[in-house]
Amino acid sequence: MLQTLPRHQRAQGELRVTVGLRDGRTVLRDLRQQGCMKARFPHPIDAHETVTLNTSGGVTGGDHLETHLHVEPGASALFASQAAERFYRALPANTPAHIRTTLTIGAGATAEWLPQETILFEACAATRTLEIDIAQDASVLGLEALVFGRTAMGETLHAARLNDTIRIRRAGRLILHDAIRLDGPADVLNATSSANANRATATIFHVAPDAESRLDALRAAWEHAPAETGASAWNNMLIARILAQDAAALRATITMGLNQLRDGRPLPRVWMC
């Protein structure tokens, strides 16, 4: 008699948020929340602020999460996550978790994608994709950050399965395809061609008409950063990398960079919690 394996419950969630202009102010146009994906809207200061959250408490094998964000022409919006996301252990038979985020930015609009870091736990398995479509004269500032195990808790990541991709298209043309792939033993992170034995990394991107003019100021802001940094700019796009020994050094360096690129405006309050 064949034994039937138990079917584990998995998280499913979809979030859709559209913001646009009304009487010169950015307002919520449309909101759809399904499953574990939710959005909250703190009182805006100079842009419409959306905080996303995953009420399942973390991501594990077999989960399926979709977030679709749209900023209409001329609007200004900031998207942040409530807390650091966690990719938990997946069973060997599980398919990887699927996390997909799309951000569409209309003509003359400005958007910021500022999620907090993602922490990889031992034996996690996930495929995550961030796809951004931006109009020719629009602007976007964003980041994605990864922490390979909680070093403050004495944890060491030995193995994981991760495919993490960022794609940005401007006026329909692909201008950035960035991918991180980890499949199996995590000792590959010790190589100088990968993480150089660091345990946290982040990519910051800024696409805007004035992006290249911000390169020197960003490099100067990171002169005494507690992590390894590098930045380049071309074709109205700035890309920066961070490699840090732990999450604390990573966040401190990210904060220094964002303070410069955001002209000193305070980070979302959820970053301070």
**What is the pLDDT, as a whole number, of residue 4?**
52
In sequence order, the β-bridge partners of residue 167 are 131, 177
**Residue linked to tokens 């394996």:** 5
Q: Residue 203 pLDDT > 70, yes or no?
A: yes
The answer to whether residue 243 sits within a structural domain is no
Q: How confident is the model at residue 139 (pLDDT cuts 50, 70, 90)?
A: very high
Q: Would you say residue 187 lies in a domain?
A: yes
Looking at the DSSP assignment, which residues form a beta bridge with residue 39? 52
Residues shown for the chain: 273
CA angle 266, 271, 273 (to 5 degrees): 120
CA atoms within 13 A on the CB side of 102: 10
pLDDT score, position 1 = 47
Q: How far is CA 135 from CA 52, 71, 141, 209, in A?
A: 24, 11, 14, 11
How would you class 64 by CB atoms within 10 Å of its CB: exposed for 0-12, middle for 13-18, buried for 19 or more?
middle
Does some domain include residue 153? yes
Residue 146: pLDDT above 80? yes
Q: Does residue 30 register a pLDDT over 90? A: yes
Q: How many angstroms separate the CA atoms of 181 and 25, rounded?
A: 41
User: Does residue 8 lie in a domain region?
Assistant: no
Mean per-residue pLDDT, 248-254: 97
SS3 57: coil
Q: Are 199 and 244 in contact (CB under 8 A)?
A: yes
Residue in this structure with the two tokens 């991918």, named with its chain if needed: 179
Q: Which domain covers residue 102, as residue numbers?
A: 13-197
Number of structural domains, the chain?
1
| Residue 149: pLDDT band with limits 50, 70, 90 | confident
180 inside domain = yes
Average pLDDT over residues 6-26: 87
* Alpha helix (H) residue ranges in the chain: 215-221, 247-261
pLDDT band at 57 (very low <50, low <70, confident <90, very high): confident
Within a domain: 254 = no
More confident residue, 46 or 241: 241
| Strand (E) or helix (H) holding 100 | strand 97-105
Q: pLDDT tens across 216-231, in order?
A: 999 999 999 999 999 9
Q: Report if residue 244 sits inside a domain.
A: no
Across the range 37-62, mean pLDDT stands at: 89
Separation between Cα atoms, residue 256 and residue 243, nearest integer Å:
14
| Domain-located, residue 259 | no
Sheet strands (E) in 150-255: 159-170, 173-185, 200-207, 228-234, 237-244
pLDDT for 8 equals: 63
pTM for the structure as a whole: 0.93
Q: Mean pLDDT throughout 73-78?
A: 97
What would the pLDDT profile of 162-194 be if each residue is shown by its tens digit? 999 999 999 999 999 999 999 988 888 888 878
Question: Cα(16)–Cα(136) distance, rounded to whole angstroms?
Answer: 23
- In the predicted model, is pLDDT for residue 63 greater than 80? yes
φ, ψ of residue 117 in degrees (nearest 5): -65, 155
